Amino acid sequence: LHSRLPHVGTTIFSTMSALAQAHGAVNLGQGFPDFDCDPQLVDAVHEAMRRGHNQYPPMPGVPALRQAVAAKLQAMHGRSYDADREITITAGATQAIFTALLAIVHPGDDVIVLEPCYDSYGPNIELAGGRVVRVPLKAESYRPDFERIAAAITPRTRALIINTPHNPSATVWSAAEMQTLADLLAPTDVLLISDEVYEHMVFDGAAHQSVARFPGLAERSFIVSSFGKTYHVTGWKVGYVAAPAALSVEFRKVHQFNVFTVNTPAQHGLAAYMANPAPYLGLGDFYQRKRDLFRAGLEGTAFRLLPSEGSYFQCVDFSAYRERSGQRSDAAFCEWLTREVGVAAIPLSAFYAQGCEAPVIRFCFAKRDETLKQALDKLQSL
């Protein structure tokens, strides 16, 4: 078969979860909670099923859920999105990003990604016929390098994908950085896909700087988020896209032919559950506690901790263990850590097209405190 993606294998997340399972390791690799969601959310979905919400919903999503998303964006970021025309419910953030790319990328267009980046972006751009232009984030800090972004923009640039809070580095863009991006894009026609799936996981009193807060960005943006992250239901695969009407029209043309609609009872359940903002407003504190517990435990190891400003990830430099493990590369070190120490992590090289030299791995702390303590016991004995 003549592969469309000859350079692509199985994702690192599936690979590391399988390895963790095979070795009975504590799985801090793939990003998903090992605790259950709020039973009230499950009840709300049951209730929707019992009330007969079991057939196709409207193509763009259940109106009550679109209205709840619009109300949340208005309350949190002060921008008004029309629930009828500008919000679309998707099968998770992955489909949202892919659909947005399919809707806007013409063969030969450039799409800029900031590396390291989530692993679906590159293959999605290629499948849409685009050319992936990889601009590195700054070494060590993983912050945006606006000079390099500016230098990468040409008349062929169709879009830029950004992601804050960031997977894998756990950085959170400041308002000043967002404004710099707005100024940089102002004289261009470049569209923006803003991956905001970790929008409610921001720590230390900082605020998530959604593109919705910056009119010059919002007018050219697809904002993407995921209920899987926000409500601890990654397996439900429900997310949304907020975009100005003209962009949403194009988005929906593709959406209607690649998924058409998204799980009806989950949408009704989520709409009812969203009436109470407390669960998402409290998510930052909830994960900050876990971050602090995990970081405090790692202080007793030779891992060098990188900052974790948001998301549910903690990156560490493992170079102090290179000699003891006999492993140089991050991928080999992660395998060794899973097999020999019993803790799975993700190598940062998985977020680069050509790998990376930096000795950095990513742990996910969206786990029960007992799970984190179990992992820390093992890591402290290293």
Residues within the interface to ligand PMP (CB under 6 A): 31, 92-94, 118, 163, 167, 195, 197, 226, 228, 234, 237, 239
Distance in Å, CB of 121 to ligand PMP, minimum: 8
Q: 8 vs 75, which CB is nearer to ligand GLN? A: 8
Residue 3: which residues within 8 A CB-CB, separation 6 or more? none
Q: Is 310 a binder of ligand GLN (CB under 6 A)?
A: no
Distance in Å, CB of 228 to ligand PMP, minimum: 4
Distance in Å, CB of 14 to ligand GLN, minimum: 7
The binder of 146, among ligand GLN, ligand PMP, none, by C-beta within 5 to 8 A per type, is: none
Q: Is 30 a binder of ligand GLN (CB under 6 A)?
A: yes
Distance in Å, CB of 226 to ligand GLN, minimum: 9
Q: 113 vs 217, which CB is nearer to ligand PMP? A: 113
Distance in Å, CB of 241 to ligand PMP, minimum: 11
SS (H, E, C) 160-206: EEEECCCCCCCCCCCHHHHHHHHHHHCCCCCEEEEECCCCCCECCCC
Q: 163 vs 171, which CB is nearer to ligand PMP? A: 163
Residue 171: which residues within 8 A CB-CB, separation 6 or more? 137, 141, 142, 143, 164, 165, 307, 309, 310
Residue 75 has phi, psi (to 5 degrees) of -65, -40
CA–CA separation, 375 vs 344, rounded Å?
9
Q: 13 vs 286, which CB is nearer to ligand GLN? A: 13
Asked if 31 contacts 367 with a C-beta cutoff of 8 angstroms, the reply is: no
- Nearest in space to 365 (alpha carbons), one of 294, 266, 304, 263: 294
Distance in Å, CB of 33 to ligand PMP, minimum: 12
Distance in Å, CB of 362 to ligand GLN, minimum: 8
Distance in Å, CB of 20 to ligand GLN, minimum: 12
Q: Which residue is nearest to ligand PMP (CB)?
A: 92
Q: 33 vs 342, which CB is nearer to ligand PMP? A: 33
What is the residue type of 263? Answer: N
Supply the DSSP string of 100-141, one letter for each residue.
HHHHHPPTT-EEEEEES--TTHHHHHHHTT-EEEEEEPPTTT
Q: 121 vs 321, which CB is nearer to ligand PMP? A: 121
Distance in Å, CB of 119 to ligand PMP, minimum: 9
Q: 95 vs 248, which CB is nearer to ligand GLN? A: 95
The binder of 144, among ligand GLN, ligand PMP, none, by C-beta within 5 to 8 A per type, is: none
Question: Which residue do the tokens 């399972």 mark?
Answer: 21
Asked if 346 contacts 29 with a C-beta cutoff of 8 angstroms, the reply is: yes
- Nearest in space to 246 (alpha carbons), one of 283, 215, 220: 220
The binder of 288, among ligand GLN, ligand PMP, none, by C-beta within 5 to 8 A per type, is: none
- CA end-to-end span of the chain, whole Å? 46
- Output the six-digit token pair for 275: 């009436």
Judged by CB under 6 A, the residue of 28, 31, 115, 164 near ligand GLN is 31
Judged by CB under 6 A, the residue of 13, 146, 286, 336 near ligand GLN is 13
The binder of 93, among ligand PMP, ligand GLN, none, by C-beta within 5 to 8 A per type, is: ligand PMP
What does each C-alpha distance from 321 to 20, 304, 328, 382 come to in angstroms? 20, 10, 9, 8
Q: 226 vs 248, which CB is nearer to ligand PMP? A: 226
Q: 79 vs 166, which CB is nearer to ligand PMP? A: 166
DSSP annotation of 37 reads -
- What share of residues in the chain are helix, strand, coil (percent, to 5)? 45, 15, 40
Encoded one letter per residue, x for contact with ligand GLN by CB under 6 A and - for no contact, window 144-183 reads -----------------------x----------------
| Chain residues in the site for ligand GLN (CB under 6 A) | 11, 13, 30-31, 167
